[in-house]
Amino acid sequence: MLNGKAGLALCILAGLGAIAFTLFADSPYYVQVVVWIFTNALLAASLRFVLLIGELNIATAAFFGIGAYTVGIATTIYDWPFLVAIVAAPLVAAAVSALFGWITLKTKGPYFLLISFAFTEVVRLVYSKSNAIGGNSGLIGIFPPMALDPWFPALVVTIMGGTLLALFWIEKTNLGRLFKAIQNNEDIVRSVGLNVTWLKVLCVIIASAAVGLGGGLHAYANSVITPGDFTFFVAVLALAYVKIGGEGHALGPIVGAVLLTVAGQWVAGLGMQENIFYGAIIIGAILLMPQGLVGIAARVAGVAVRKGGEGTR
Amino acid sequence: MTLYIQLLLNTLQIGSVYMLFALGLTLIFGVMKVVNFAHGTFFTAAALAIATVMPPAMYQLGLPVWAAYLIAFVAALAVVAVIGIVVYQFGFQKFLRDLIGSFILSIGLVLFLNGSYLAIFGGAPQKVPPLIDVNLSIFGAYITGQRLLLVVVAVGVTVGLYWLIQKTKLGLSLRAVAEDQEAAMLQGIQFRRVALYGFLIGTVLAAIAGAMMAPVHAITTVIGDEFLIKAFIIIIVGGLGSVGGAIIGAFLIAFIESVGGYYFDNSTATIAMFVLVMVVLLLRPQGIMGHAER
């Protein structure tokens, strides 16, 4: 149902619809919500991409922040042009993630999870300690070029949608199959002569470049960034999107991001305790539907989906 | 000289709280293979229970400070044990040895419990009176009696835990399950029951740490979470699941914090800890005392 060409066409159609919406909608608020949905979907897709090799990468939040800070520094301090800054964001995120992955991917499972958590919090501390990049108050005035302004949300949504498609496409190639094979049994992959550690680092680099680009676009769309925007909590929410949507399919994180972003807006409007709401949703989802909404939909349609959450040991 | 003794004393008092906190985490990980991000909420629950029970016991019942604290301490342990049992029975039991599933559950619990604490107790920090109101001087370095008591209790609890793990039948089961769950089950050890005990011991350790910390620290609804990142660094450095590693790691991290905090500041000390973790990983990916992750 979801894997065929029809499913892909449906996704692209929905993406085009979103782009058209950002171009023609009257309300800046709804346009903003669409941009948030795509940002969150990209975060969730990047987190899920590293889940392909069986690792939970909390540092997704850190690389999102590194992309945003790259754009912020390039724009407000060095006055680099838009195009250079936006290309630099994924490159810097990829470079840092290569070093990070090279050191940390010697470990796996709980060690990697905890180190990626510590890395995220430490990177945030570094921002708030560095007065040259605004310290605790962050960077302000990150604007896209004036000429782009009217269609900037459409541009953001287009690039983010394209990145989501690219991640989906990589997952379908032989490289993506290798990543899944590493999750299932990395010794078998090693036994045919492939360098497993290098493949894992590559997976983290791809995911980090994607989310770094997302962070760069987020910096422009928001025009203000602070260290507090990039806590490990960003990755936790991304994980909630993945879990609620279902991690068995590339569409899962996107479905989750749409639902939770909209629901989050609704809750914020009610003035309720947001944390209790998100906590209850996460607990309910993991207890009641461990394979997420896409998993349930697939089961209804009679399609077997890879069982998620296992294979990490 | 006085300065060095002072820094050493600081290391001792910071380290003893970290030790209790990290021991609970590492025990839960060892037995259940669960990374429990909700560990800090147990610590917080205990501190909040002390702040709730102690003042009325003192001012309305007219009890002396130590009796009020003792009642509050028992109440705190009871509250946390109940939370622990509920959370285990309805949650973690379904995710034993499932790293990602249990992590997500624990994150949901952090959000839910911290949100509930905030809704019930409000955001204002609370204070309770100290148990012992004396300052001790050791070679010119100072330590409050309260904090010295904390160190003594932490060491006592750790010795007790060590005895429990090394000398009792339950300890043997805990070690067997941590070593190889399937082999332990083949020997007739009831894994689920042992996992419950391991989890409860871990939560009670967090509760003791929280209850001991309450009289020396402003009590907020997120007090436990401040320890989380350092506790994780401690158990990575020490080796996940290793009791000895958690103890060594706790004092190592406390040493960096007290020395780094004195010469630089706390954030710089935390960054230094992370660099230490990276170096340890490059040399010994499984931590100082850990076994190879296979």
Residue B294 pLDDT: 38
**Highest mean pLDDT: which of A59-63, A239-243, B179-183?**
A59-63
Residue A310 pLDDT: 40
Q: Where are the alpha helices (DSSP H) in chain A?
A: 5-24, 28-51, 60-76, 82-104, 110-129, 152-172, 174-191, 196-222, 232-245, 251-270, 274-288, 292-300
Contact B224, B42 (CB under 8 A): yes
Compute the mean pLDDT over every residue in chain A, rounded to the nearest whole number: 86
Residue A305 pLDDT: 47
Report residue A271's pLDDT band, with 50, 70 and 90 as the boundaries. Answer: low
Question: How far apart (Å, rounded) are the C-alpha atoms in residues B100 and B118?
Answer: 27
Q: Reply yes or no on whether the pLDDT at A192 is more than 50.
A: yes
Residues 6+ apart with CB under 8 A from B210: B42, B43, B44, B45, B46, B47, B50, B76, B80, B223, B224
Give the closest residue to B75 by CA, choosing from B219, B197, B223, B210. B210
* Contact residues of A toward B, CB < 8 A: 51, 56, 103-104, 106-111, 113-115, 117-119, 121-122, 125-126, 128-129, 236, 239-240, 243, 273-283, 286-287, 290, 308-310, 312-313
Q: Reply yes or no on whether the pLDDT at A307 is more than 50.
A: no
Q: Distance, in angstroms, between A122 CA and closest chain B CA?
A: 6
Question: How far apart (Å, rounded) are the C-alpha atoms in residues A42 and A208?
Answer: 11
| Phi, psi (degrees; rounded to nearest 5) at A195 | -85, 100
Residue B217 pLDDT: 87
Across the interface, whether the CB atoms of B271 and A126 are under 8 A apart is answered yes
Residue B69 pLDDT: 92
Helices A110-129, B99-121: inter-axial angle, 10-degree rounding: 50
Question: How far apart (Å, rounded) are the C-alpha atoms in residues A219 and A140?
Answer: 9
Q: Distance, in angstroms, between B293 CA and closest chain A CA?
A: 8
Question: In whole angstroms, what separates CA A189 from the centre of its chain?
Answer: 27
* A82-107 tens-digit pLDDT: 999 999 999 999 999 999 999 889 88
Report residue A23's pLDDT band, with 50, 70 and 90 as the boundaries. Answer: confident
Residue A4 pLDDT: 63
**Highest mean pLDDT: which of A274-278, B1-5, B77-81?**
B77-81
DSSP code of residue B114:
H
Report yes or no for ipTM above 0.90.
no
Across the interface, whether the CB atoms of A107 and B281 are under 8 A apart is answered yes
Question: How far apart (Å, rounded) are the C-alpha atoms in residues A297 and A122?
Answer: 40
DSSP code of residue B41:
H
Residue A267 pLDDT: 79
Question: How far apart (Å, rounded) are the C-alpha atoms in residues A248 and A303?
Answer: 11
Give the closest residue to A42 by CA, choosing from A23, A60, A59, A54. A60
Question: How far apart (Å, rounded) are the C-alpha atoms in residues B154 and B246?
Answer: 13
Q: Alpha-carbon dihedral of residues A124, A128, A129, A131, nearest 10 degrees?
A: 140
Contact A157, A35 (CB under 8 A): yes
The B residues from 51 to 110 touching A (CB cutoff 8 Å) are 90-91, 94-95, 97-101, 103-105, 107-110
Q: Distance, in angstroms, between B183 CA and closest chain A CA?
A: 17
Report residue A312's pLDDT band, with 50, 70 and 90 as the boundaries. Answer: very low
What mean pLDDT do residues A134-145 have? 87
Across the interface, whether the CB atoms of B99 and A312 are under 8 A apart is answered yes
What mean pLDDT do residues B266-289 have? 80
Report residue A308's pLDDT band, with 50, 70 and 90 as the boundaries. Answer: very low
Give the closest residue to B253 by CA, choosing from B18, B3, B10. B18
| 3-class DSSP state of B134 | coil
Pairs of CB atoms within 8 A across A/B: 127
DSSP code of residue A139:
E
Report residue A47's pLDDT band, with 50, 70 and 90 as the boundaries. Answer: very high
| 3-class DSSP state of B152 | helix
